[in-house]
């Protein structure tokens, strides 16, 4: 089968499009013929081994898993002896990062517990756009943020992969949502349901006097004290992404602020979770959430997809079409 392989850490230039052996499923795995896979910031972190400490888990000198790609959508082509939930031909999607990655390929073996049946109405590209970004948004808002109906919620970095899901999920929970993005993304965040939009190139939301019950920073660059002053007295701030300096600041100061005051502030390290993905599937089927795809690339051009993602201005998700679904 064809796959995108990397044998050493580096820039997207180290990614090679080559022929590798087609895998065989273990007893608790299914073999998935991949139709689409999306690219995530996590692929970039593993590609570059950035931050450096990532090597403790991904391989000190070279990557343990030579094929990146976590968010797959495809069709079950073979099943292991102990697989209960899926049968041949099932259309599935999921985040396979906990089971060894391998999505930038024509086939992958995935654990049963990483996959959910694909919503029928979604294309494979749309389904592949969902898992990691939407589950991160859900865990940030619901698990960590304890979102409640009627709350004032602000999403910073609302126009990226995580942010566009966060806006829609917060709306589905009945919150009043303010989305922060740049001028060119105002229309898209309005179209997916944001009640208010703030153009960060013209207005600094930390200085306008509004306060929010819950702030999710999907990608937004402010200090913890900036965020603190726009939180309500019992408000919660969850940071999922942004610059390393700000992530470290929240990691260091967040627990202390949360312990000593009534505001809660902290980072989220999202984990793949089948129940969370099944919950998002219900939102997709109910039409409360829809994936937004910025660009699609063929498998041979994953390096270009990663370069584009690395620029940091994707409008929604970057997806790789691996096979045409006729
Ligand atoms: N904690 C976790 O478990 C977890 C899981 C998934 C992702 N993440 C992290 O979450 C972050 C976001 O991921 P993503 O997939 O959403 O990334 P992404 O799709 O690459 O985000 C790009 C978006 O960020 C916006 N943006 C850039 N600078 C901004 C700023 N100063 N203010 C507001 N918006 C800004 C861009 O809009 P403009 O073009 O308008 O600037 C663009 O639409 C990444 O850092 C990623 O590593 C963390």
Ligand 1 centre and the CA of 156: distance in Å? 9
Over residues 259-271, the pLDDT tens digits come to: 999 999 999 999 9
Contact 54, 68 (CB under 8 A): no
Question: To which residue do tokens 């270009």 refer?
Answer: 304
Q: Which residue CA neighbors atom 21 of ligand 1 most closely?
A: 160
Confidence of residue 289 (pLDDT cuts 50, 70, 90): very high
Residue nearest to atom 20 of ligand 1 (CA): 312
Q: In angstroms, what CA-CA distances link 122 with 40, 73, 291?
A: 20, 10, 9
200 lines ligand 1 (CB under 6 A): yes
* Cβ 97 under 6 angstroms from ligand 1: no
For the chain, what is the radius of gyration of the CA atoms?
20
What is the whole-number distance in angstroms between the Cα of residue 76 and the centre of ligand 1? Answer: 32
CA–centroid distance, 215 to ligand 1, in Å, is 14
Region for residue 285 given its phi and psi (left: phi exceeds 0; alpha: psi -120 to 50; beta: otherwise): alpha
Q: Is 246 in the pocket of ligand 1 (CB under 6 A)?
A: no
Please tell me the residue having the least CA distance from ligand 1 atom 33.
157
Q: Quick one: pLDDT band at residue 325, thresholds 50, 70, 90?
A: confident
- Ligand 1 neighbourhood includes 182 CB (under 6 angstroms): yes
Residue 326 has pLDDT above 80, yes or no: no
**pTM for this prediction:** 0.97
* Probe target for ligand 1 pocket from 241, 294, 295, 319, with the most ligand atoms within 8 Å of CB: 241
41 lines ligand 1 (CB under 6 A): yes
How far is the C-alpha of 53 from the C-alpha of 199, rounded, in Å? 35
The answer to whether residues 19 and 2 touch, using CB atoms and an 8 Å cutoff, is yes
Inform me whether the pLDDT recorded for 190 exceeds 90: yes
Residues linked to residue 178 through DSSP beta bridges, in sequence order: 154, 196
Q: From the CB of 139, is ligand 1 less than 6 Å away? A: no
pLDDT band at 229 (very low <50, low <70, confident <90, very high): very high
């Amino acid at each position: 089968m064809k796959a995108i392989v990397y044998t050493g850490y580096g820039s997207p230039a180290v990614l090679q499009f080559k022929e590798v052996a087609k895998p065989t499923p273990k007893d608790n795995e299914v073999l998935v013929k991949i139709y689409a896979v999306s690219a995530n910031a996590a692929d970039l972190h593993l590609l570059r081994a950035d931050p450096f400490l990532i090597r403790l888990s991904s391989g000190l000198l070279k990557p343990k898993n030579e094929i990146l790609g976590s968010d797959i959508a495809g069709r079950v082509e073979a099943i292991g002896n102990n697989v209960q939930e899926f049968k041949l031909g099932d259309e599935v999607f999921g985040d396979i990062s906990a089971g060894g990655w391998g999505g930038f390929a024509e086939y992958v073996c995935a654990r049963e517990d990483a996959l959910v049946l694909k919503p029928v109405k979604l294309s494979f590209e749309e389904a592949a756009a969902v898992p990691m970004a939407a589950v991160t948004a859900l865990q940030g808002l619901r698990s960590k943020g304890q979102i409640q109906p009627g709350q004032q919620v602000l999403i910073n970095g609302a126009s990226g992969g995580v942010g566009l899901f966060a806006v829609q999920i917060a709306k589905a929970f009945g919150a009043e949502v303010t989305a922060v993005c740049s001028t060119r993304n105002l229309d898209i965040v309005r179209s997916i349901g944001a009640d208010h939009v703030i153009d960060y190139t013209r207005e600094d939301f930390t200085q306008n006097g509004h306060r929010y019950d819950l702030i999710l920073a999907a990608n937004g660059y402010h200090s913890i004290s900036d965020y603190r002053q726009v939180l309500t007295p019992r408000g919660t701030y969850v940071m999922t992404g942004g610059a390393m300096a700000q992530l470290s600041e929240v990691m260091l100061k967040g627990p202390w602020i949360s312990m000593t005051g009534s505001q809660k502030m902290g980072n989220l390290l999202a984990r793949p979770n089948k129940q969370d993905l099944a919950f998002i599937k219900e939102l997709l089927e109910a039409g409360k959430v829809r994936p937004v795809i910025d660009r699609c690339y063929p498998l041979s051009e994953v390096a270009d997809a990663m370069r584009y993602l690395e620029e940091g201005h994707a409008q929604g998700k970057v997806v790789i079409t691996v096979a045409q679904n006729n």
